[in-house]
C-alpha cells in the first residue's frame, strides 16, 4: 500500500516553502505520509492527484491580479485545508465587522469602499485628527500595502491619502484604524491552534514603527515563544467561538479548522482587541517551539488518516 499524499501549497515567491515550514516535509514522512510541495497557480500541477492539500506560503493570493484566480483554485481542489468556504470569507477583512457583531472586541475601523467615488479631500476627512493611524487594504497578506501615518504631520497625512487613493483606484476596500500604542508597549500575541486545540503562543515585536510606509512587499516579523496567560487563553476561546459561529453562517455547518492563528493585543484596560484571524497563509511559527512542528505534522496526519 502506498503512503497517502499531502501537498503543501505555496507560491512562486516560496517555491520550497518559507523557512519556518521547511521541516514539515520530513516530519510528514516520519508519519507515513508522502509530502509534496507545489505552487498553487502552476498549470503543470494535477491537483486532482495531490491528495490532501494544505495551504502554506500562498502569500500572493491577495494581489489584485490573482485574487479571483486564487479563490477559483481553492474551489477546484478536491480536498483543501482549510476549506474553500473558510478561505473565501477569511480573505477579506470585512469579516471583522461580523466578529464584532458577535461580541469580539475589534479595533474601531473606518471602511472606505472603492465604489463610493471619494475625492482626496473626502479621504482626508475620514482620517483621525490626532495620533498615529494605519491604512491598509481589506484584502491583503503579509502586511502588503499597510502603512502607519501621523495625523498631525502634513507630509505623512498626504502620503496616507495617496496610499488610500491608490488602493481605492484598484478596486480595493480600505481600512483606516487608529494605531494602538499598546502594540509598541507590549507587542501582539498570536495564539496558534491545530485541529481546534491551542498549540502554542508567540509574542511579536511591533512591525509598524513610526517611519513605516506601505509597500507591496511581505514584511518580516520578530517573534518569541511564550506560554499564554490564562486571560489570553480565555480571549482566544472567545474569538474561536465567534469564528465557528461565522463558519456555520457561511458554510451552513461547522467545520474543523486544521490551523487557526488568532492575533490579539491588549486594550490597556485589562481586555483585548482582535487584530486578525489567519486561516489561509498564516505563519504558524513552527520554529519557535520544539513541539510546534511535531504538533502541526500530527494535526495533518490526524486529518489524513481519519
204 and 272 assigned to the same domain: yes
Amino acid 212: pLDDT: 47
234 and 192 assigned to the same domain: yes
Count of CB atoms situated within 10 Å of the CB of 175: 22
Domain boundaries, position 276: 181-291
For cell 502607519, name the residue: 148
How many structural domains comprise the chain?
3
What are 192-209's pLDDT values in tens digits?
A: 999 999 999 999 876 555
Q: Which of 93, 87, 283, 104 is nearest to 190 (CA)?
A: 283
55 and 144 assigned to the same domain: no
Could you give the 3-state DSSP secondary structure of residue 37?
strand
> Contact, 74 vs 280, CB < 8 A?
no
Whether the pTM exceeds 0.85: the reply is yes
283 and 185 assigned to the same domain: yes
Q: What whole-number distance in Å separates Cα of residue 132 and Cα of residue 156?
A: 10
Could you give the 3-state DSSP secondary structure of residue 200?
strand
What are 236-257's pLDDT values in tens digits?
A: 999 999 999 999 999 999 999 9
Residue 303 lies in a domain: no
Higher pLDDT, 258 or 269: 258
204 and 171 assigned to the same domain: no
120 and 131 assigned to the same domain: yes
Q: Output the CA angle 16-85-239, nearest 5 degrees.
A: 90
What are 125-141's pLDDT values in tens digits?
A: 999 999 999 999 999 88
> Contact, 37 vs 7, CB < 8 A?
yes
Residue 306 lies in a domain: no
Amino acid at each position: 500500500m502506498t503512503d497517502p499524499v499531502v501537498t503543501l501549497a505555496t507560491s512562486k515567491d516560496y517555491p520550497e516553502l518559507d523557512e519556518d515550514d521547511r521541516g514539515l516535509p520530513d516530519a510528514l514522512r516520519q508519519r507515513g505520509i508522502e509530502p509534496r510541495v507545489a505552487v498553487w497557480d502552476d498549470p503543470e500541477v494535477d491537483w486532482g492527484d495531490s491528495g490532501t492539500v494544505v495551504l502554506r506560503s500562498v502569500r500572493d493570493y491577495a494581489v489584485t491580479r490573482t485574487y479571483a484566480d486564487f479563490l477559483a483554485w481553492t474551489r477546484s481542489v478536491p480536498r483543501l485545508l482549510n476549506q474553500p468556504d473558510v478561505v473565501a470569507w477569511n480573505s477579506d477583512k470585512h469579516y471583522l465587522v461580523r466578529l464584532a457583531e458577535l461580541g469580539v472586541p475589534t479595533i474601531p475601523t473606518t471602511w472606505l469602499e472603492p465604489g463610493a467615488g471619494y475625492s482626496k479631500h473626502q479621504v482626508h476627512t475620514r482620517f483621525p485628527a490626532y495620533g498615529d493611524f494605519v491604512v491598509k487594504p481589506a484584502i491583503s497578506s503579509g502586511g502588503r500595502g499597510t502603512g502607519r501615518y501621523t495625523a498631525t504631520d502634513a507630509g505623512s497625512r498626504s502620503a496616507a491619502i495617496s496610499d488610500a487613493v491608490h488602493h481605492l483606484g484598484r478596486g480595493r476596500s480600505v481600512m483606516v484604524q487608529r494605531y494602538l500604542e499598546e502594540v509598541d508597549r507590549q507587542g501582539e500575541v498570536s495564539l496558534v491552534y491545530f485541529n481546534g486545540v491551542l498549540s502554542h503562543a508567540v509574542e511579536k515585536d511591533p512591525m509598524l514603527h513610526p517611519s513605516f510606509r506601505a509597500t507591496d512587499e511581505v514584511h518580516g516579523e520578530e517573534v518569541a515563544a511564550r506560554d499564554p496567560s490564562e486571560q489570553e487563553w480565555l480571549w482566544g476561546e472567545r474569538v474561536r467561538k465567534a469564528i465557528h459561529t461565522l463558519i456555520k453562517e457561511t458554510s451552513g455547518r461547522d467545520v474543523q479548522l486544521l490551523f487557526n492563528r488568532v492575533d490579539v493585543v491588549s486594550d490597556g484596560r485589562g481586555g483585548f482587541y482582535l487584530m486578525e484571524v489567519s486561516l489561509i497563509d498564516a505563519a504558524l511559527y513552527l520554529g519557535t517551539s520544539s513541539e510546534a512542528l511535531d504538533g502541526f505534522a500530527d494535526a495533518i496526519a490526524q486529518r489524513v488518516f481519519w
